[in-house]
Structure 1
Amino acid sequence: MKPRIAVLGCGYWGSNHIRTLKALGALHAVSDVNPARAEGFASEQDCLAIEPEALFARKDIDAIVMALPPQFHADMAVRAVQGGKDVLVEKPIALTVTDAERSVQAAADNGRVFMVGHVLRFHPAFETLKALIDNGELGEVRYIHSHRLGLGKFHTENDALWDLAPHDLSMILAITGTEPIEVRGEGAALLDNLSDFAHLHMRFPNGLRSHLFASRLNPYRERRLTVVGTKAMAVFDDVEPWERKLAVYRHAVWQDSGQWAFTTNEPSYVAVGEGMPLTRELEHFIQCIETRAEPRTGGEEAIRVLRILTAGTITHTGSSSREKSAAVLEPDPSR
């Protein structure tokens, strides 16, 4: 039997979890502070509607997917794991590192699976890109930059950095295999006191540099991750059709008589098997529940992402922008 999974939070992203889990044969119940909303999904998907307060003690639920406003994630996750449930918590898992650590530790203390919804780690194009890097196809990675731009959504608690950047930070950390030792953030709040644009500049222990640009107030969509290596460069562009999502550029750069020269080549497009990242993510969660394996996007990774977000966060007063001084992240010997 598949594990019996409940979805807590029936908003936009929660509804995607609901429909995907139903298709996977693992949806058992839905729950929301708005009973009518939960009842509507329960009727539509032929599952139970359970009040949030009753959810954690139910013996017929093995795991809970949490798609809540992030300020509620930590408390709900702690209650879930203490009630014997495995959890998948949507990003960001909390608004403070302390809350994130509290929920991850509670899961460890209770022997529960704790997974975080960094869904792009399960994108077939990123998985293929990661394999190229691991196999040395790009040489030594020297620079990574990501752009995640578009219009909306506008949240009352999350700015552009906290809403959009976790996906890219998760991918960057997977590629580098380590945390940055320096983070510098720049942001601009145009509509209220939350950043609508955000830049992160990161420096890693081996000299690798990375830059991230996120915007929720942009006239066009951009979903692009670029990796520059000593042998080749690669671009994962999720706006492109499947046959063009992953491109490798084998440009050549060299020094001739004291001057730098280069030649350019047309990109080669790497074949990528099609697949929905959310489906693959939830299949992985189900497998971890069944085998008790550590998730690919576990709690420790989520804490590392949150540490970077915290270091790069910009505070605003009115519609102004301010640059935050570089924050050096001290290595944590426990991780």
Structure 2
Amino acid sequence: MTPRIAVLGCGYWGSNHIRTLKALGALHAVSDANRARAEGFASEQDCLAIEPDDLFARSDVDAIIIALPPQYHADTAIRAVESGKDVLVEKPIALTVADAERSVRAAEKHGRVFMTGHVLRFHPAFEKMKELIDKGELGDVKYIHSHRLGLGKFHTENDALWDLAPHDLSMILAITGTAPIEVRGEGAALLDHLSDFAHLHMRFPNGLRSHLFTSRLNPYRERRLTVVGTKAMAVFDDVEPWERKLAVYRHAVWQDSGQWAFTANEPAYVHVKQGMPLTRELEHFLHCIATRAAPRTSGEEAISVLRILTAGSVIHD
């Protein structure tokens, strides 16, 4: 039987969950502190509108997607799992590592699925990139850099690092398979006390290095993850059309008579089957609920992401 899912939080990203779940036949209810907003979605999507405080005791709700301002995520997730609900918590799952650990441990104690909304892990282009890396097509991975730039959105609680970096950190951790042993961050706050630009530099146990650049005050959009290996380099560029989202560059670099030489080859674009990452993420959540399998984007991964964000919390210039 298809799990009956409620979405708590009918804001921008919560509304995407609502519409996608409806298409999957799993939307049972919506809930929001703004009753009129919830009732509007309930009418539009032909589902129930339930008051937030009444949601947790409902026997007709199997799982809750929590898409609230992040300062409310931990306590809400704990209340949900203690009420016997499986949860998908949007990123970041908390604003402190301690709160994240509390919520994940509560889910473990009560035997509930705890999944994190790191949606780009379910992007077909990233999945294909990860497959190429695992097959050794790039050789040994030596460097990863990620740029996530654009104009907005602006939040009162999250700076550019905490708002934009979790997706990229999730992908980087999936590639490295381990947490960094060194993290350095720097940033600049131009509008108020929260950083609008942030750089994060990481070093991993095997010598692999990575950097991440985020900005919400950039004149153009950039959504690019680059992986540099000893055999080839791969670029996942989510701004490009589907036929150009994943490119592999088989450049060659060698020494000749003590001097470095190289050949720069044109990119080979890898075919990627089209699919909406959010749809694939929610299909995975439904699968985990039905089978009790561990989610690909687990609570433990979210804790690792929060540890990096905390260690790299920027000093404002």
TM superposition score category, shorter chain reference = over 0.9
> What is the root-mean-square deviation of aligned Cα atoms in Å?
0.5
* Paired position in structure 2 for 1:119: 119
- Which amino acid counterpart does residue 2 of structure 1 have in structure 2? T
CA displacement at 1:315 relative to structure 2: 4.3
Return 5+ residue gaps in structure 2 as ranges: none
CA displacement at 1:274 relative to structure 2: 0.1
Q: Structure 2 CA distance, aligned partners of 1:293 and 1:315?
A: 40
Q: Structure 1 CA distance, aligned partners of 2:287 and 2:66?
A: 18
Aligned runs of 1:126-205 on 2, under 5 Å? Answer: 126-205=126-205
Q: Structure 1 CA distance, aligned partners of 2:69 and 2:154?
A: 12
Q: Structure 1 CA distance, aligned partners of 2:28 and 2:95?
A: 29
* Paired position in structure 1 for 2:10: 10
* Paired position in structure 1 for 2:290: 290
- Which amino acid counterpart does residue 203 of structure 1 have in structure 2? R
Q: Structure 2 CA distance, aligned partners of 1:241 and 1:182?
A: 35
Aligned runs of 1:233-248 on 2, under 5 Å? Answer: 233-248=233-248
Q: Structure 2 CA distance, aligned partners of 1:37 and 1:258?
A: 68
* Paired position in structure 2 for 1:270: 270
- Aligned pair count reads 317
TM-score, normalised via structure 2 length = 1.00
**Deviations 1:61-116 (Å, cap 9, x if unpaired)?**
00000000000000000000000000000000000000000000000000000000
| Secondary structure of the corresponding residue to residue 231 of structure 2 | coil
User: Which 4+ stretches in 1 moved above 3 angstroms?
Assistant: none
Return 5+ residue gaps in structure 1 as ranges: 322-335
Aligned runs of 1:205-244 on 2, under 5 Å? Answer: 205-244=205-244
Q: Structure 1 CA distance, aligned partners of 2:15 and 2:171?
A: 25
- Which amino acid counterpart does residue 265 of structure 2 have in structure 1? N
* Paired position in structure 2 for 1:325: none
| Secondary structure of the corresponding residue to residue 121 of structure 1 | helix
CA displacement at 1:256 relative to structure 2: 1.1
**Deviations 1:128-160 (Å, cap 9, x if unpaired)?**
000000000000000000000000000000000
Q: Structure 1 CA distance, aligned partners of 2:190 and 2:241?
A: 33
Q: Percent identity over the alignment? A: 86
- Which amino acid counterpart does residue 266 of structure 1 have in structure 2? E
CA displacement at 1:304 relative to structure 2: 0.2
| Secondary structure of the corresponding residue to residue 153 of structure 1 | coil
* Paired position in structure 1 for 2:258: 258
CA displacement at 1:10 relative to structure 2: 0.2
* Paired position in structure 1 for 2:73: 73
